[in-house]
Every structure is written in structure tokens, then in C-alpha cells.
Structure 1
Amino acid sequence: MFIPHLTLVGAGPGDPELITLKALKAIRNAAVILYDALANDTLLEYANPDAITRFVGKRYGCHALSQHEINELIVGYAFSHGNVVRLKGGDPFVFGRATEEIDAARQAGITVSVVPGISSALAVPASQMIPLTSRGINESFWVTTGTTQSGEISPDIALAAKSSATVIILMAMSRLEAIMDIFNANGKGETPVAIIQDGTTPKEKIVLGKVKDIYFRSLHAGLANPSIIMVGDVVALHPSLITHYAGQQNMLTRVAEKR
């Protein structure tokens, strides 16, 4: 007799090596794995050969199944096979709609556990050597989604644009121009911006710029989802920018010495 159970597992930001040991153990012990588009499918190599693996494609612009259908699969497989793993990109509780799946399982009498994952909001900037906070530059960071459930730009964007915090915006490439207009309207036109696509993977691409020009730079580079948008003075600490500014400073020093 199967004991129905759901484990929500964070698959990390994309690099399959950025997953926890506890997450790998959960994958190995799963009878069924329902995985997202943002979860690296090479992680399925750790699954039991007899396990059912099913793609349920949840990310912006990619919905193989509705959330209601996914909930029904979780409940159905839990009762028919026992241990179901819901493998989600990043961390299950960072814009992962985990609470909806937990509610569906609990209402059906299914026990639930969670294995946290490394969120792309933290790992992707780190992979590019950009800190979220740095002493003397900022004291906090925001992580926000670009749009609300209705598709409108989140009102938190306007609040974040008024602060000195680093702002990480997820799932927002389709509204990039309008979002940068909000920052520009709050006097942030010269604030550095980084957009990182497919972070921590071999396909990773990055475009650096400022609020006033990042939209056009991203268009020229052909950036698309999945990307994170990072706005804040800490972006200037990216190694390429440090080298650039250091080179400019050295040139100015040499000119001054000649005088």
C-alpha cells in the first residue's frame, strides 16, 4: 500500500551542480517526478529507472498544463504511486506557486514536505560576480516579479524604484521598457543595470547598461526569458565594469602626471 506524499524540491538556478544533497535524495526516492521547464532535465538522471517523469512546463510563456491540471496530477499520482516529487526551478517558494500545490495536496489528505533550492535571484548575479549588497553602496535588496496575476506591472516596482536597494526583477522581459520608464521617472536613468539570460548555464548571456539604455541594448543582443533584471549601483562592481573604470582612471592619472 502506498503512502501518498508530495515533496516540493528546488532544482536551483539552472546549473545541475547547484542542487542540494537533500534534493538529490528526494529525486532518487521519488516514484513520480513532475518537473518544470526551468528545472534542468539532466537532474532526471538521478531518478529511479522505474520512476515516472513528466514535464509539466511552467514558466512565463510556457504552460504545458494549467495549474489546476498540475494539482490534479499531484493528487492522482500520490494516491496511485505514493511519493511524488514536484521539481521546480530555483526555490519552490520564490514565485513558484508552491502554496497552491500544497493546498491541493493537503485538502486531499496528502502530507507535504519541502526541500529548499538556490534561487536564481541570488545565484545568477553571484555567478557574474555581482553582489546583491556591498558595504557603502546599499543595505538591502528587493526581489520582485515583473507582473501581477492580471498581467499588469507590479506596483512594488514603483516602490522599489524609489529606494536605494538593489532590485532583482524576475519574469519581466516582456515589460522591460515600461519597467525601465518607471525607474527613469524616479531619477534612476544613470543607474547601472544587468540583464542575465540562462544564468549559471553554458548558454548564459549578459548585457550591461544603464536604466536609460538597457532596453535597446537588450533588443540588440536578442535577450529573452528566462532572464533576471538587476538594477542598482552594485552592478558597477561587475568585473568588466571595474576593469573599464580602472582603465579610465589610469588614463586620467597619466594625463595629470604629464601636466
Structure 2
Amino acid sequence: MLDKNDNNRPECCSALIALELSRLDINITALSKVHVTGVGNLQKHGTGYTLFWSGNPAVEGHFSGVGFLVRTSIAIASTLESLLTGYSDHIMSMHLPLRNKKFATLLNMYASTLQSEPTEKDRFYSELRYVLWYTPAADKVIILGDFNARVSWDAVAWRGMLGRHGIDNCNKNGHLLLEFCMELQLIITNTIFQQKDRLKTIWRHPRSRHWHLIDYILVCQRDRRDVLHT
């Protein structure tokens, strides 16, 4: 999450993230709540990364926004500017070339919160469904982002979509996500690796102070073996 108080200055608010990615040797990361208007990109001189973003039109303010921070050597080699598509301030895609003329489509998204109106949630999943339907069938698909959902650990009821190592109780947003995964044969990879809960959770509730898992990485079931760890 980038600092919304930095207004429309991505060159300031993503610098520390780029430096941390360099330290951890990470090539690509998905960002949510970038709070930057329009669609654009900016090379982070001195860090080796380029920021690509998709936000609201300037007249609508800085409500949400999503983006990718990509190692510049990859961005240049892949001419990524022409391979990234910003659909809205909630969904952005990257069509990344692989070896042997194959591609991976990375989707970065920020889903409606639990308090959002049902029509807003339906609109989000309709848009995400539309993007996936028009993704080339041969592509490896990786969906990353903040789903604002708790999916629990019921791997029996949601076999193929959910592993045995989830946490929390499933909420309404979790049911929406699991039904979406069932429809499109996606697996929530966060739940298939056994590790300590503190390495899974990402967000602490402001009142209960409990930590929850709401950010997920989804892949097609056929690509399950490509995921080494989440």
C-alpha cells in the first residue's frame, strides 16, 4: 500500500518499496491502494525498478488504484509498457513473455471490502471474469491481490480450490471468492503450504487486533505445480 498523503507523486511513495525489493531480489510485485490517478509508468532511477499503475481518472480523485513494480531490466527487455493494461482502479494485467513463445498473464486486483454494496461486489467479479475470459487460453494465469476475504480451511467442501492450511472462518466475501474459483477452476495457493500463521496473515483488524489472511495468489489448477511457495 502506498501512502495516500503523497497525493499524485508515485516517485516519492514507491521509492522505499523499490529499495526493499532490490534487497530481497524480487523481480515483480503487485501493489494495491497506490492512490495515483490515471494510467502511467515511471522509472525509479537509482533503484532498478519501474512503477506501472492504473487508478481513477483525475476528476474522480485518488480512492484506490493498483500497480506493478517491475525490475527495469525486465520491463525494457519485454517492452512491458505495451503489454500492461489498466482496466480500472481495481484491476490491472501484465502479459509477460516467457520462453518458447509462451506467455504468463499476471492480474493485480483490489476487491470490494466486506462493507461494500452487493452490486459493487458483483460488478468487481463481473469485470474480473471478463478479463479472464479474454485472456489467451494458452497463458499461465496468476491472480494477485487484496480480495478483502477470509476463506477458511475447509478443503473437503472446496476440494481443488482450497488447501488444508488456510486460517480464519469464512465470511461472505470468502464465499464469493470460493464460488468464483470453483467457476473458473482456480486454486488459492496460500492455503496449500504448511507454515506458521504469522507467515500467512497480512492484516490486523483495528478493533479485535486479530491478524487475518485477506491477500491471495490464485492460479489455474493446471498450473499448480508451477507454484513453489506462497
Structure with greater contact order relative to length (CA < 8 Å, sep ≥ 6): 1
Q: Report if TM-score (shorter chain) is over 0.5.
A: no
Task: Looking at secondary structure, tell me which structure has more helix per residue.
Answer: 1
Structure with the largest fraction of strand? 2
The TM-score bracket by the shorter chain reads 0.3 to 0.5
TM-score using structure 1 length: 0.32
